[in-house]
Amino acid sequence: MAPRFDVLIIGTGLAGLTLALHVADRKQVGLVTKKQLLDGASSWAQGGIAAVLADDDTVGSHIRDTLIAGAGLCDENVTRYVVEHGRAGVQWLIGQGVPFTRDTENDTGYHLTTEGGHSHRRVIHAADATGRAVQATLEAKIRAHPNITLLEHHNAVDLITGAKLGLADNRCYGCYLLDIRSGKVHTVAARHTVLATGGAGKVYLYTTNPDTATGDGIAMGWRAGCRVANMEFIQFHPTCLYHAHAKPFLISEAVRGEGGVLKLPDGTRFMPLHDPRADLAPRDIVARAIDFEMKKRGLDCVQLDITHRPADFIKEHFPNIYIHCMELGIDITRQPIPVVPAAHYTCGGLMTDLSGRTDIPSLYAIGETACTGLHGANRLASNSLLECLVFGMAAAKDILAQPAPPPSSLRQWDESRVTDADEEIVIAHNWDELRRFMWDYVGIVRTNKRLERALHRIRLLQEEIHEYYANFRVTNDLLELRNLVTSAELIVRSALTRHESRGLHFSRDYPDTLPEARNTVLVR
C-alpha cells in the first residue's frame, strides 16, 4: 500500500512551511526535502521581507515600486493582492515568534531597512540572517506537529498524473519519491500535491543559491504538462563575495541600503554614471553596470565600500557578513568587500493563479517554483519571502476549501529493467559542462549566437541523460542533472523567443524594449 497524505509538499522553504502549518490542524501532511529541513534557499535569505508596515508607507507605493522594477510585465492584480496581504503574513510570523530586529523609535516597533528599488523603508529583518531566523522558528513548529510527517533525505522523481495512469482525469495523484540514503523509490499518494522546491540557480556556474536549487519542481511540472512562463528572466544578484578560496556568499542588498557604495579598484564610484538612483537602482541595472565595468576594464571584481559608517553600526546590522568576511581576512569596517554578480533568483516558473493552482488539478506551485505574475521581468528586492508567505497562505486556504478528491490505486515504481550505473563520472562531467556554458552563453548579456550554441549543447546533453535515465537506477545526482538540463532548455528557449531587451533579459541583438510587454509562455 502506497503511503498516502492529504497534502504532499515537496520543498521546505518558507512557502512550503507556511502552507504546511496552515493546513496541518485539519490535514495529514507529508513534507519532503532533499537534505535536512533548513537546507533550502529560504534559510540563506539575508535581507528581509518587504511589507507595508510603517505609517508613512502605503500599499500604492509598494505596488508602484514593484511594477517599476518588473519593467512592465508584473500582473497588477497579483501585485496588489500580494502587497495587500503582506502585513498579515508578517504579523503571522511575529505571532509564531520570529525574532525580527527591534527599534523602539520606529512606529512599528521594528527596524525597517531599505533596498534597491524601494522608495520607503519597508523591509523587516532579523539582523542580516532573516531567512535563517524565520526558518528556525518555523522548524520547531513543524517538528512538533502531530499531523506533519517530515521526509528528509528524499527527492521527488516525477509526478503521478492521470495521463500517466491512463485515466481521463488528468489530475495529480502524488509522486514517486527517492529515498536518497537507501536508493529505493517509493510511490506516494496525495489528494493535493504542492511543488515548493525553489528555483534553478545551480544551472549556472556562479550562484548565491544552495546546492539544492536544481529546478526540480519546474522541471517536474513541465514534464507533467504545466505551462511555464518567463524563464528567461534570471536575476543575477549584483553583490556576491569574490574570493578565490571560498564558496559564493551573498552580500545583502541591505549593505547598499544602509549606505554602501560600489567602487572601482582605484576608489572611483561608477553607479551614478549608469543610473540616477546610483547604488540603489534595481538589481538588473546594478548587475549589468558591474558586468560592464568588469569587462571594460578587465577586472575580476569591483568593491563594495561601507567603511564610512561606524564600525559598531556595521557589526550590529551585518553581524554574519562581518564574521564571514573576517574569517577570510576582510575587515569590512576598514576594507571594501570584493564583489561580483552571481545567479540569484528565477523570476519565471510554472504558471499559477492567485491560489497557487497550476494547469493540472490537485497540483499547486508556490514560491520561486511558480510564476505568479508578481515579479515580471525583474524581482524587487525582498519581495521573494513576501511571495512565499502570501501564496503559502493562499494555497492553504484553497486546499482547505476543496472537497477531497477520491483516492486511486497507483502502480509501483518499476526498476526491473534497469541496472546500477557503471560510470557515474558521466553525471559529474555533464553537470560541469552545463553550468559552464550556461554561465558563458546565457548570462547577464546575451546574443542569439550564444543562445543557439547553448541550446545545441543542451540537446546533446539531454540525449545522454535520457539514455542514462532509461537504463540505470536513479540516483539523486542523476535526478538533479535531469532537472537542471530541463530548466536550462526552458531558460534558453524563452530567451530566444524574446526579441527585445527588458528587465533581466538583455540582448545585444535586440537592445530596444518593445512598446507592448508580453509574457513568454511555453506549452509542452
Q: Which three cell numbers stand for residue 200?
A: 534553478
Cα–Cα distance measured from residue 102 to residue 104, given in angstroms and rounded to the nearest whole number: 6
Task: State the CB neighbour count (10 A cutoff) for residue 173.
Answer: 27
CB 33 within 8 A of CB 154: yes
Q: Which three cell numbers stand for residue 484?
A: 537542471
H helix runs in 59-195, sequence order: 59-69, 76-84, 86-96, 130-144, 162-165
Across-strand partners of 240? 250, 340
The letter for the amino acid at 267 is: G
Which of 174, 146, 172, 150 has its CA nearest to residue 161?
172
* Residue of 198, 190, 180, 218 lying closest to 135 (CA atoms): 198
Q: Is 283 a catalytic site residue?
A: yes
Whether residue 257 contacts residue 44, with contact meaning beta carbons closer than 8 Å, is answered with no
- All three cell numbers of 348: 519565471
User: How far apart are alpha carbons 357 and 508 in whole angstroms?
Assistant: 36
Catalytic residue among 191, 283, 379, 502: 283
User: What are the Cα distances from residue 386, in Å, to 117, 285, 330?
Assistant: 16, 22, 32
In whole angstroms, how far apart are CA 5 and each of 24, 191, 220, 269, 367?
A: 11, 7, 19, 56, 21
Phi first, then psi: what are they for 193, rounded to 5°? -120, 135
Measure the CA–CA gap between 341 and 123, rounded to whole angstroms.
22
User: Could you write out the three-class secondary structure of 241-292?
Assistant: ECCCCCCCCECCCHHHHCCCEEECCCCCECHHHCCCCHHHCCHHHHHHHHHH
Residues forming the active site: 283
